Amino acid sequence: MKKQERYTGIVDYFSTHLPNPETELQYTNPYELIVAVVLSAQCTDKRVNMVTPYLFDAYPTASALASATPDEVFQIIRSISYPNNKAKHLVGLGKMLIDEFNNVVPGEIDQLVKLPGVGRKTANVIASVIHNLPTMAVDTHVFRVSHRLGLVSPKSKTPLAVEKELVKNFTDEQIPKAHHWLILHGRYTCLARNPKCGECGITDFCKSFEKIQKHGIKAVDEKLPKIG
């Protein structure tokens, strides 16, 4: 099966079964989303959603967050992974939003990555979710699933390489949705250790499943590099 046939089949399936995918992070405005995404690095959305109500109650705006100390923020987010670093990042993020961006979360990637705690993946999430731009955030789920499905070349061994290949093959209109399709599929069906192939609706377009069927093995071990 040609790669573009896989893309077409996968898009058709998810367009029917998950036409309006959304982030599972809970937020009400761009400020809350960027804070939540910073917290979600190497942490589950479920855990972040347990913490952010208390954080947003204490610091409902970038200005309020900018006036806090890292120690104060730490006390609220201590159950999140890497709370010391993230507390410092969040206070710095609040200050920069006020001082340099007039209390507006920017939409451009090159501006977003200037914010403390915001790398390319986080910036792509904000640009996609808030501004509906054709940016593809590649987390561990997107990285794994895109390789298993055969959407990207085995030679694409970095998040950036995977991002470029996905952006090239999905249309601009599909990219914001495809980001969520791949994440959710990896989170609930195409699991890292025990993929639920028997429950998967896109095995007809999956390169790894083809190998599983051909060789009669339980699962394909891609031996992909771990990413943050």
pTM as predicted: 0.89
The reply, when asked if residue 200 is annotated as ligand binding, is yes
Q: Which residue out of 121, 155, 164, 226 is catalytically annotated?
A: 121
pLDDT the model gives residue 221: 52
Q: Which residue out of 139, 168, 172, 204 is catalytically annotated?
A: 139
pLDDT the model gives residue 218: 56
Kindly state the average pLDDT of the residues 39-43: 94
User: Has residue 220 been placed in a domain?
Assistant: no
Domain that holds residue 68: 30-129
| DSSP annotation string for 127-149 | HHHTT--S-----HHHHHHHHHH
139 is catalytic: yes
121 is catalytic: yes
The reply, when asked if residue 206 is annotated as ligand binding, is yes
CA dist., res. 48 & res. 152, Å (int): 30
Cβ atoms within 10 Å, residue 194? 8
Q: What is the pLDDT of residues 106-147, one digit of tens each?
A: 999 999 999 999 999 999 999 999 988 999 999 999 999 999
Task: Indicate if the pLDDT at residue 35 is higher than 90.
Answer: yes
Nearest to 179 by CA among 134, 119, 225: 134
What is the CATH number for 54? 1.10.340.30
Q: pLDDT tier at 212 (50, 70, 90 boundaries)?
A: confident
Q: What is the pLDDT of residues 160-183, one digit of tens each?
A: 999 999 999 999 999 999 999 999
The reply, when asked if residue 190 is annotated as ligand binding, is yes
The reply, when asked if residue 43 is annotated as ligand binding, is no
Q: Domains in the chain: how many in total? A: 2
Residues 36 and 111 in one domain: yes
Residues 103 and 148 in one domain: no
| Cβ within 8 Å of residue 134, ≥6 positions away | 128, 167, 172, 173, 175, 176
And the tokens for 167? 């952006």
Core vs surface per residue 102-112: b (16+ CB within 10 A) or e: eeebbbeeeeb
